[in-house]
Amino acid sequence: MIEIERKFLVKNNAFIAESRTSFAIAQGYLSSVPERTVRIRIKGDKGFLTIKGKSSASGASRLEWEKEISVEEAKLLLPLCEKGVIQKTRYEVVSGNHIIEIDVFEGENAGLVLAEIELSDENESYLKPDWLGEEVTQDERYYNAYLSHHPYALW
């Protein structure tokens, strides 16, 4: 139940040609305090309830618990979320032994493109495609919960 991931800015759209799949995501937060976030997500035709704990000092690790719920339940819960529902399209690219998830944000966060790599250990090595840019793992501005209240368009 520990999520270990690193976040990166993306330099260009070259990842699109490498992606094996893409789908729309809408997500909102029932709670977005730093000690815990409680998220409702609609990902394609599935719904999810996710609770995440506070990040480690490195920003790469934190407790994550997720349960699939029906998309109908997620649609009922999404309007109860705090202001600032995130809209994005997620692309998945296979890179070595990992899947890199690239989020192209829409709405008030348009123009932001972030990539995440989930790891089994904070020091695990991974392939870094040319289109992967600056690492922003420790920068809380790039957390979705932060973006829901402080949209990228207002930076």
SS3 state at 148: helix
Q: What is the identity of the amino acid at 57?
A: A
List phi, psi (to 5°) of 44: 65, -120
Choosing from 29, 91, 142, 143, the catalytic residue is 29
Q: How many other CB atoms sit within 10 Å of the CB of residue 26?
A: 17
Q: How far apart are CA 108 and CA 148, in angstroms?
A: 9
- Count the alpha carbons within 13 Å of 60 in the hemisphere toward its beta carbon: 14
Q: Tokens 């690219």 label which residue?
A: 93
Q: Burial level of 81, CB count in 10 A (0-12/13-18/19+)?
A: buried
User: Known catalytic residue: 29?
Assistant: yes
Residues identified as active-site: 29
